[in-house]
Structure 1
């Protein structure tokens, strides 16, 4: 399903929102805002699975929302799908949460920075390497299992 996103130019860059939901984003370019809105949309829909989009253009929105955008120049309407979330990141987060270790302690034991651990649980990060996952599993007292499933 596609959701209506509205992107506008601001003094500092660009701002956007999914008008029907509580999803907002700011960035340096319309493309960056669009990506951030898609990611925010994916996260929002994780907790609100029964939301169905209604608006497909600005004129479909309630009058008060239309008025908010009436005085703005260059309102870009984009139809967005939720960004894909990496199930490996969700599995890493689950494993870390079940351990009694902090990100900093895990990072110390792995010989990396805590920012690397935070990146591994980012649902939109797709750069998990098998050697890193093996090191993480070793620190957590787990094993890595890779499966390929039919689509």
Structure 2
């Protein structure tokens, strides 16, 4: 009975290990893609940005992607290290998790800020169109008041 349970746990452990690697590889790929996409977007939006600026803007995402891929080996090392090294390795692993959290948080914050900017631009365009419509309506009203034909018609009929 004990060996069957040990075999099941070993099987679950292998699946968990594979799933963790798949998650880390996906996170690294998403981070790299995000970094390159943001760099290319900034590069195409500005006339003064150089290829070096694009490289420097994407470099932090490359570093985070590399950090993502080191988590599982470091976590594996945590289990095999002596008790003297375990706290140091654990702190290092927590720092890596903090870096990932901060990167995801900043990405979400940037997405929210971009949506807010688009909304504000749309509201400003609507306000400008409403002001233009008001000006046109008042100009039309002034035009009707100054229309000499409309003023002469009542005088002719009397």
TM bucket (normalised to shorter chain) is: under 0.3
Query: Which of structures 1 and 2 has the bigger CA Rg?
Result: 2
- Structure-2-length-normalised TM-score: 0.21
Report the structure, 1 or 2, having the larger helix content.
Answer: 2
- Structure-1-length-normalised TM-score: 0.22
The one of the two structures with greater contact order (alpha-carbon pairs below 8 A, sep at least 6) is: 1
Report the structure, 1 or 2, having the larger strand content.
Answer: 1
